A = this chain, B = another copy of it.
Amino acid sequence: MIRYLTAGESHGPQLTGIIEGIPAGLPITEDEIALHLARRQKGYGRGGRMAFEKDRAEILSGVRFARTTGAPIALQMPNRAFEKDDANWPKVMSKEGKGEDVDPITVPRPGHADLTGIQKYRYNDIRPAIERSSARETAMRVACSSIARKFLKHFGIEIGGHVTRIGSVGYERPWEDIRELVDPMLSGGAETVFRTADESEVRCLDEELSQQMRDEIIVRRKEGSSLGGHWEILVTGLPPGLGSFVHWDRKLDGQLAQAVMGTQAMKGVEIGQGFEAGRRHGQVVHDEITYEDGDFKRRTNRMGGIEGGISTGMPLIIRGVMKPIPTMLTPISTIDITSKEEKDTRYERSDVCALPRAIVVIESVIAPVLANAFLEKFGGDSIEEIEERYQAHK
């Protein structure tokens, strides 16, 4: 079983991660991890922070001669802002002293973990909540997950995502239009999807919509507001039979849902047609079964590759929503936690729309879930051993 922990604050010295349970013998390099970290840093709608980061995770253990050893893999990624920024982070974020000459932040921003963080942990200063709940943390989640993703790729399982809506701009028929556009791409593997989407500044597969999304972002930036949107992730190459119906917590869709909803700013998730399936009737929702070339297939894939909590062998389709970024230039009303006076939210440098970048995060966080389901099916401690079985199984 693969598990991982991440640590680190947004303006602390570094992010740290440990991923444990990756079988031995998997080829992996820092460059492969850097690929998705770089992808995570690109996307229209970003604020000024981007200049500071050029993320690269350093492997500190668990890899020898470019292959995993089965031991826990530690990763670290320095926060360049820590040293270079003029905010004096080493002082503000010091692990020592009493912080006497550091002013506490006392005005919580709605939509962040600011107020809830204080209520939970009894902070006098919102700073620790800001620092740990920040989306900066997702960089390390991407790094750790990249290794699980490489494991999946080794067995022909590919993941790729794209943006389907930003604010008022999206596909007219969010199911049919996207299927027509995406499904033909999948024969080459789901990474075709992300490679195509990555060519768009907003990670949208449709050129015209991309332009409209860009315009929407410009408008909302001028207003001092922010935007979220909808996304879709595809996974190809999953064998049928991962997950199970026998107990609720073995269902693959439930496990995927937790991984997605455990990601900053995600407020909804659906599999296949999802919410649309509630608007239709049974005859047009289920996927007829066929048999071709020795394999069971489906005429359609409205269930999004999962039936009864188990993978069907069809592409996995997960969709969801990211809320608009809560940090906005135009303030909204809040309360100072110390004085209890009404205040405007103060502005912090921020993106206007983080969705294009978040695509990479969601692609990543589902990888350990899928890798665990795969490992439960095939077992084994080394790539060589798993591969023998996987070949025999096919």
Chain B residues, CB < 8 A from A296: 115, 119, 335
Within 8 A of B (CB), among A318-357: 321-326, 328, 330, 332-335, 340, 342
User: Is A381's CB under 8 angstroms from B241's CB?
Assistant: yes
Q: Are A120 and B241 in contact (CB under 8 A)?
A: yes
Q: Is the interface of A mostly helix, strand, loop or mixed?
A: mixed
Residue A88 at the B interface, CB < 8 A? no
For residue A313, CB closer than 8 A to chain B, the reply is yes
- CB-nearest residue of chain B to A29: B96
Q: In the complex, what residue of chain B is closest to A384 when comparing beta carbons?
A: B122
**A225 touching B283 in the complex, CB below 8 Å, given contacts A7-B20, A121-B24, A128-B24:** yes
User: B14 near A220 (CB under 8 angstroms)?
Assistant: no
Q: In the bound complex, how far is the Cα of B322 from the Cα of A201, in angstroms?
A: 35
The verdict on A315 contacting chain B, using a C-beta distance below 8 Å, is no
Q: Which of B65, B74, B260, B324 contacts A282 (CB 8 A)?
A: B324
Interface string of A47-88 (1 = CB under 8 A from B): 000000000000111111110011111101000000000000
The reply to whether B261 and A269 contact each other, CB–CB distance below 8 Å, is: yes
Question: Whole-angstrom distance between the alpha carbons of A24 and B132 in the complex?
Answer: 13
Are A70 and B274 in touch, CB under 8 angstroms?
no
Nearest-neighbor residue (CB-CB) of A111 within chain B: B286
What is the distance, in angstroms, from A366's C-beta to the closest C-beta of chain B? 12
Q: Is A173 an interface residue (CB 8 A)?
A: no
Q: How far is the CB of A93 from chain B (nearest CB, A)?
A: 6
Chain B hits for A313, CB < 8 A: 119
Q: Does A377 contact B (CB under 8 A)?
A: yes
Q: Are B20 and A71 in contact (CB under 8 A)?
A: no
Complex Cα spacing A314 to B127, Å: 23
Whether B246 and A71, one on each chain, are in contact in the complex, defined by CB atoms closer than 8 angstroms, is: yes
A259 vs B257: C-alpha distance when bound (angstroms): 9
Q: List 16 A-B contacts (CB under 8 A).
A: A6-B18, A7-B74, A12-B60, A16-B60, A65-B102, A110-B287, A111-B307, A241-B381, A248-B259, A248-B262, A257-B261, A267-B277, A269-B269, A275-B275, A277-B324, A385-B393
Per CB-CB distance, the 7 closest pairs between chain A and chain B, nearest first, are A379-B379, A113-B308, A268-B270, A254-B262, A226-B282, A282-B324, A116-B310
